[in-house]
């Protein structure tokens, strides 16, 4: 597992563009994914890795977004 804090940080607006997949994803959705998570195919909860900067802004990484999406993808 990689060290999230050593990955290049991006704002949630940039992360929303990575997730889009043909439909708009807004920053509020990403905040829910950080706070509450999403139910995974195995029944568990997956949360988007993120950190809160000193100024109160949330950041994540492109790699964290990829890990989050991969965890939500069924592996039948």
Name which residue leads in pLDDT, 66 or 21: 66
Whether pLDDT at 68 is above 60: yes
Residues 6+ apart with CB under 8 A from 19: 25, 30, 65, 69
- The residue extents of the domains of the chain are 4-71
Whether pLDDT at 53 is above 90: no
**H-assigned helices in the chain:** 12-19, 27-35, 62-71
pLDDT tier, 44 (very low <50, low <70, confident <90, very high otherwise): very high
Whether pLDDT at 17 is above 70: yes
The predicted-structure confidence for 31-41, as pLDDT tens digits, reads as follows: 999 999 999 99
Question: Which of 69, 63, 68 lies closest to 5, judged by CA?
Answer: 63
Question: Which of 63, 47, 75, 54 lies closest to 14, judged by CA?
Answer: 63
């Amino acid at each position: 597992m990689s060290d999230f804090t050593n990955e290049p940080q991006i704002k949630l607006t940039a992360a929303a563009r990575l997730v889009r997949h043909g439909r708009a994803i807004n920053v509020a959705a990403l905040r829910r994914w950080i706070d509450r998570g999403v139910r995974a195919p195995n029944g568990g909860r997956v949360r988007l890795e993120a950190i809160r900067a000193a100024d109160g802004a949330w950041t994540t990484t492109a790699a964290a977004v990829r890990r989050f999406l991969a965890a939500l993808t069924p592996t039948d």
